[in-house]
Amino acid sequence: MPAAPLPDAWSRRLAALDRARKETGRDRRIAEPSGLDFCSNDYLGLRRDPRLAEAAAWAARNHGTGAGAARLLRGTTPIHAELEAELAAWKGAEACLLFNTGYQANATLLPSLVRKGDAIFSDALNHASLVDGCRMAKVGGTSVHIYAHLDLADLDRQLAAWRATAPEGSLALVITDAIFSMDGDAADLPGLQGLCDRHGALLLADEAHASGLLGPDGAGLAALQGASPHLRMGTLGKALGSAGAFVCGEAPLIRHLLNTARGFIFSTALPPPVVAAALEGLRVSRAEPWRRARALTLAGRLRRALGQPDQPSAIVPVLLGAETDAVRIAEALQARGFDVRAVRPPTVPEGTSRLRLTTGAHQQDKDVDALITTLKELL
């Protein structure tokens, strides 16, 4: 049977919202990928690697196409445990827990870690998943404090001010992107860790755009900078070429999340083929360091051509300011065969619309050079 007609009040509200989106030029549409990829997060070029495809096919034949249940019921296979063990060892952690997406991991672990009277301190430009995790934590009585982007002095002041009046037994959690997804800049994890040590706070670093790409063995920004955040979140659908996410840390923290993180407890587990592909992607990424070197070299080449300072990431933003300019130039690039997308508010702050370029091991020198030439013509 078809769905019932919407109530009149709902129809009017949705129509008004649709009109408002169209009037502001912010009506989103899903577009089929076409042209040379300069916008995905396939940093190591593993998404189409036949070794990952074969690993997924093997898992489907031997463990099924789906998990069939949540992890705490019947949804765990030997390869789930194997991937968690290898991820923990890779990150130098005691334990690891898989989640279905990076958004789910961040949004569900924050309210699981804090309670009424506690406080979260979040970088002003953290990913939306961390922002939404903060919103969920506030419902339970946790206070949320936003510190200026990358400003350790501001964070220090806010931590000290909160601690001076916090109820006895209250705890603090500092959260940050490791690599910020829209700007490609990096957090100072050793500096953050020092502040957290001084104030007795827990540090969570979201290494979604660093895992597999940065540091010794591709283990992330923390490994590159010599830092040891208490919790590290990473994703399996970017550099590692599959899907899903994970959180690594000391065993007591991971046991706590296993028992309290509602997004983990009440979700069907990642499908075995996805887990097997991620495991193979992890192994390939560690065995072939040329992939991360290639992605970072191309990003540096783009930045130099555009007159930008160096950053330890494969994300190269081209700030344009006006939404109309970002859309116009993105469409012109697409017409010339480059898959580049405009990023506009509310994804980024007002007045900072941009092109978000990314580089990967699968890209050719001639294509990067052609993109640079075309960008210079259009800008």
Per-residue model confidence as pLDDT tens digits over 248-271: 999 999 999 999 999 999 999 999
Residue in 112, 122, 143, 181 annotated catalytic: 181
Residue 145 among the catalytic residues: no
209 is catalytic: yes
- At 26, the pLDDT band (50, 70, 90 cuts) reads confident
pLDDT digits (tens, 9 = 90+) for 76-102: 999 999 999 999 999 999 999 999 999
Is 181 marked active-site? yes
Number of neighbours of residue 123 by Cβ within 10 angstroms: 23
Report DSSP letters for 232-247, one per residue.
EEEESSSTTSS--EEE
Interval 36-77: pLDDT, tens: 999 999 999 999 999 999 999 999 999 999 999 999 999 999
Structural tokens at position 177? 């992107």
Catalytic annotation, pick one of 143, 238, 267, 353? 238
Phi, psi of 63 (to 5 degrees): -125, -5
Asked if pLDDT for residue 23 goes beyond 90, the answer is no
Give CATH 3.40.640.10 domain extents, the chain. 50-286
What is the dotted CATH code of the domain comprising 50-286?
3.40.640.10
pLDDT at 50 (0 to 100): 98
Classified by CATH at the fold level, domain 31-47+289-378 comes out as Aspartate Aminotransferase, domain 1 (3.90.1150)
* Residue partners of 18: CB distance under 8 A and separation at least 6: 27
Domain with CATH 3.90.1150.10 in the chain: 31-47+289-378
| pLDDT bracket for residue 171 (50, 70, 90) | very high
Amino acid at position 110, single letter: L
Catalytic residue among 91, 209, 230, 362: 209
Looking up tokens 């020092």 gives 194
pTM of the shown model: 0.95
